[in-house]
Amino acid sequence: MPAPEVLPPEPLGPQHQLDAFRNGRHPSLDEWLRGRAQLSEGLSARTYVICAALAANVVVGYYAISTAAAHRAALPSAKLRKGAPQEVPLLLIGRLAIDAAFQGRGLGAALLADALRRCAAASTIAGVRGVLVHAIDDEAAGFYQHFGFRRAPPLGERTLLLPVEMLREAIAASEA
């Protein structure tokens, strides 16, 4: 993580304090973290959090990863559709958010990079064609596009997709 004021990402656990988290823009992101994240943990999603370094269990950012599928015909490129089963396996990065007090420090980009590294690792264990995000608004869509995600209108108005091949290439280039 780029900021020394936060600890590295870790899986959400019962020790984490969620009540103070406020992203400042979309209450649904706060509500999901407090009301659904622990209920979903390990069953339908895996949530990773970053905590304030000076308050070790106070969550200041998070994202969730889950599995997803899309109908082959809805994929935005012939390359993704070629040889794919009817229901194409994907990974979904959901609900990436940073507490308002910690925004503007590159933590969103750092959390996304962590999520993408985990998705790339998972793609070597179980076959997936790409990583999906459902951007909460147009600004979020622009954020994901900056990191190589492409709009996938057949899948949803603000749904974006990063093909797993592009993800692996980007990670290999960053490690070279």
Q: What is the pLDDT of residue 3?
A: 58
Domain count, the chain: 1
Q: What is the helix (H) or strand (E) element at residue 107, kind and residue range?
A: helix 107-123
Flag whether 5 is in a domain: no
Whose tokens are 């492409």? That residue is 150
Flag whether 3 is in a domain: no
Flag whether 158 is in a domain: yes
Flag whether 4 is in a domain: no
Q: What is the pLDDT of residue 64?
A: 97
| Span 17-33, pLDDT tens digits | 999 999 999 999 999 99
Per the structure, the complete domain to which residue 115 belongs is given by: 10-175
Residues known to be catalytic? 144
| Span 90-113, pLDDT tens digits | 999 999 999 999 999 999 999 999
| Span 141-155, pLDDT tens digits | 999 999 999 999 888
Flag whether 162 is in a domain: yes
Evaluate whether 120 touches 171 at the Cβ level (below 8 Å).
yes
Q: How far is CA 9 from CA 14, 31, 53, 75, 89, in A?
A: 15, 20, 12, 31, 25
Q: What is the CATH number of the domain that holds 83?
A: 3.40.630.30
Report the DSSP pairing between strands 87-98 and 130-134: parallel
Flag whether 15 is in a domain: yes
